[in-house]
Structure 1
Amino acid sequence: MAVTEIDQPALASLPWLEASKQRLLDQIAQQRLPHALLFSGPNGIGKWQLMRWLSDRLLCASPNAEGACGQCRSCLLIAAGSHPDLLILEAEKNTIGVDLVRQAIATLSETAHQQGARVVLINNAQQMTESAANALLKTLEEPGQSAFLLLSAPSAGQLVATITSRCQEHLVALPDEQLALQWLQQQGVTAELSHLRLNGGAPLRTKQFIDQQLHNKLDAFLVRLLAVVNGEPPAKELIDDAVADFPASYHWLSALLLDLQKVIAGLQPHHLMFSRHWTELQAIADRLHFQSPDWAPWLSHWQPILAASGLNHSMQWQAMLLELQDKLAQPQQPLLSSR
């Protein structure tokens, strides 16, 4: 029984997950696979694919050295989205409520319909409500024979300690940057290192970023933003795009200011998010006499304003960009001196 599905590349196409896959296969072979596993790591690196691969392997009636056979009745039921011993839970309106968790408990407590394992997957388990998390505790301790509970979260710290203490954590690490870029190229995605770094080094997030044409929006945003930094009035197109693309636009602004700090600190282009703008940033740093303001408090001040409902966001962006110009013109002044 599946509540929702996620349409993403299959595990076989994600080479950086091979080590994780082998670790899980070894645990299965040694009969040491825990009944409750927490897959942690940044979003967009394939935790979901790894969980689905493992659930398929656990439910398969004739598994092979690579995982599920893909041909037995259980595998065919999984492919059809109708396996009675598989339950996939995801958030409804940004939370996973107690009713969904009770479905999971019921699935794990029943006798397996296919005479094999019973598996529950909880994607983004950090979205469980307090009552949902509490309801799950006893099942985590005693899930039953051949019952497996697979959870995912960006980090174990986002879950309550009573949940994490009952799970074995399986950390899914970011791939090497060159491996990630090579994989993106193999997928027909022309991504730059800046695109990968802007998406936290996560290849799947980067692919989605490119597929949605956000890299083109980013390029236009940076050109117009650098014009503002150099003293030109904020263009209407810049403000319109900033509002439309928020919160990504705020992230892009933050990354550019961090790059400026790096240039002022003497770091080289390969350390920057936007190395293609090294020349412009070097000129700005020179104009500032290489004084390095800390932009973090100023950005933290503006972020909730730009995100607030009921405000004219275009006016707020314009005010922020004009203030940015003022701060760059007077770098000796505290960034929040007027607050």
Structure 2
Amino acid sequence: MYPWLRKEWLNLLEVARAGRLGHAWLLLGDEGLGKEQLADALAQRHLCQQHIDDQACGHCHACQLFSKGNHPDLGRIGVEGKSIGIDPVREICRRLGESAQLGRGKVVIIEGAERMTEAAANALLKTLEEPAGDSLILLLASQSSRLLPTILSRCNKHLCPIPPESVTLRWLEEQGISATPSQVRICRGAPLRVRQYLEEGGDAQRRELLSSLCRLPEEPSRLAALASSINGDLERHLQWLQLLLADALKVQAGCPAAQLNMPDLADPVGELARQCSTERLLDAQQGLLAIREHCQPGQLTNPMIHLHQWLCRWL
């Protein structure tokens, strides 16, 4: 178990020991926190044939099948594509209605539950209202606001908080990864996201993309290429752009470089703060928020259109 999740697991285990686990849980928390580990621990405990101290033993036939990913009474829907359609949800609900093959109940894990289409969410709702037998449904989500209120009302909820920077930095160091507090903040504090960001060379990508934006008024012919780059990883790149604008506003307010989210870009940020009025920076921030809203997974919209419009206003 990741160190920042140990307390969360003990809290959930206490609920389970008290017999108050119920049949449906929503595990909330930012992407990159490893909520999947909590879901797996709950699922394995539920399916284990011989608990030790009320936790999964790790040795019985059910635990062995679980560790190999072959447990017949475990269903899982992963995050694939932009949305979760009705067919996989219907199939997993159908399997919940069948008898457990190993006699210890059944478990369903749905990752990225907020990506369910409305039809998929409604298909799940009936199962949440009338769970079959000794079943446990675990939903993982990072944005509860995108789940139907009826889904939220039928689930117990557990929030996984962002760990302190010191915990994240220490864990990364133990993994052989050198990181700075700034890099942790860029990744919104989620340890697994920081690791992925650094391993994939995200720092260099960020500097290149944001520098390209700052140079755009002098190189307007690069607008289409820049929009395509931003769209390549829309969620992450929009967040970088928001941090850039926030830093420019900090500079205008007189904050020193040490207080910036991205002090390694202090020079281009300072130039941006000199070239743009506060009103223009705030307007650009609002534009990014609108793009994020319009381009949520599952919505039928073309992000490139919104990005082109935003960049044209930037020029």
Q: Partners in 2 of 1:136 and 1:15 — Cα distance?
A: 32
Structure 1 residues 28 and 237: alpha-carbon distance in aligned structure 2, compared to 1, 3 A threshold: same
Q: Partners in 2 of 1:25 and 1:239 — Cα distance?
A: 51
Which residue does the alignment assign to 1:101? 89
Q: Partners in 1 of 2:221 and 2:130 — Cα distance?
A: 60
Which residue does the alignment assign to 1:54? 42
Structure 1 residues 42 and 294: alpha-carbon distance in aligned structure 2, compared to 1, 3 A threshold: farther
Tell me if structure 1 keeps the 8 A contact 2:17–2:54: no
Which residue does the alignment assign to 1:215? 203
Which residue does the alignment assign to 2:281? 295
Q: Partners in 1 of 2:61 and 2:187 — Cα distance?
A: 39
Q: Which runs of 5+ in 2 are unaligned?
A: 295-300
Which residue does the alignment assign to 2:14? 26
Q: Partners in 1 of 2:121 and 2:272 — Cα distance?
A: 51
Which residue does the alignment assign to 1:179? 167
* Amino acid in structure 2 at the alignment position of 1:208: Q
Q: Partners in 2 of 1:115 and 1:199 — Cα distance?
A: 43
* Amino acid in structure 2 at the alignment position of 1:143: P
* Amino acid in structure 2 at the alignment position of 1:106: R
Which residue does the alignment assign to 1:262? 250
Tell me if structure 2 keeps the 8 A contact 1:261–1:293: no
Structure 1 residues 211 and 254: alpha-carbon distance in aligned structure 2, compared to 1, 3 A threshold: same
Tell me if structure 2 keeps the 8 A contact 1:194–1:275: yes
Q: 1:159: how far off?
A: 0.6
Q: Partners in 2 of 1:25 and 1:206 — Cα distance?
A: 28
Output one character per residue of 1:210-235: Cα deviation in whole Å (capped at 9) or x when no partner.
Answer: 11111122234455656x39x8x349
After TM superposition, list the pairs within 5 Å mapping 1:41-190 onto structure 2.
41-65=29-53, 67-90=55-78, 93-190=81-178
Structure 1 residues 132 and 316: alpha-carbon distance in aligned structure 2, compared to 1, 3 A threshold: closer
Tell me if structure 2 keeps the 8 A contact 1:242–1:250: no
TM-score (norm 2): 0.82
Question: What's the RMSD between the two structures over aligned residues?
Answer: 3.3
* Amino acid in structure 2 at the alignment position of 1:157: S
SS of 2:279's equivalent in the other structure is coil
Q: Considering Cα pairs closer than 8 Å and 6+ residues apart, tell me whether 1 or 2 has the greater RCO.
A: 2
Q: Partners in 2 of 1:265 and 1:20 — Cα distance?
A: 39
Tell me if structure 2 keeps the 8 A contact 1:37–1:168: yes
Structure 1 residues 301 and 243: alpha-carbon distance in aligned structure 2, compared to 1, 3 A threshold: same
Q: Partners in 2 of 1:258 and 1:310 — Cα distance?
A: 21
Flag as ranges the 4+ runs of structure 1 deviating above 6 A: 235-239
Q: Partners in 2 of 1:295 and 1:60 — Cα distance?
A: 55
Output one character per residue of 1:114-143: Cα deviation in whole Å (capped at 9) or x when no partner.
Answer: 111210111111122222222222321231
Q: Partners in 1 of 2:272 and 2:115 — Cα distance?
A: 43
Tell me if structure 1 keeps the 8 A contact 2:74–2:107: yes
Output one character per residue of 1:12-58: Cα deviation in whole Å (capped at 9) or x when no partner.
Answer: 2x111111100111011111112110011111111112111211121
Structure 1 residues 278 and 92: alpha-carbon distance in aligned structure 2, compared to 1, 3 A threshold: closer
* Structure 2 residue 240 is matched with structure 1 residue 244: no
Structure 1 residues 220 and 268: alpha-carbon distance in aligned structure 2, compared to 1, 3 A threshold: same
* Amino acid in structure 1 at the alignment position of 2:158: H
Structure 1 residues 75 and 160: alpha-carbon distance in aligned structure 2, compared to 1, 3 A threshold: same
Q: Partners in 1 of 2:238 and 2:313 — Cα distance?
A: 11
Output one character per residue of 1:39-84: Cα deviation in whole Å (capped at 9) or x when no partner.
Answer: 1111111111211121112111223348422221011111222211
Q: Which runs of 5+ in 1 are unaligned?
A: 1-11, 324-339
Tell me if structure 2 keeps the 8 A contact 1:63–1:69: yes
Which has the larger Rg? 1
Match of 2:304 among 304, 308, 311: 308
Moved more, 165-174 or 47-56: 47-56
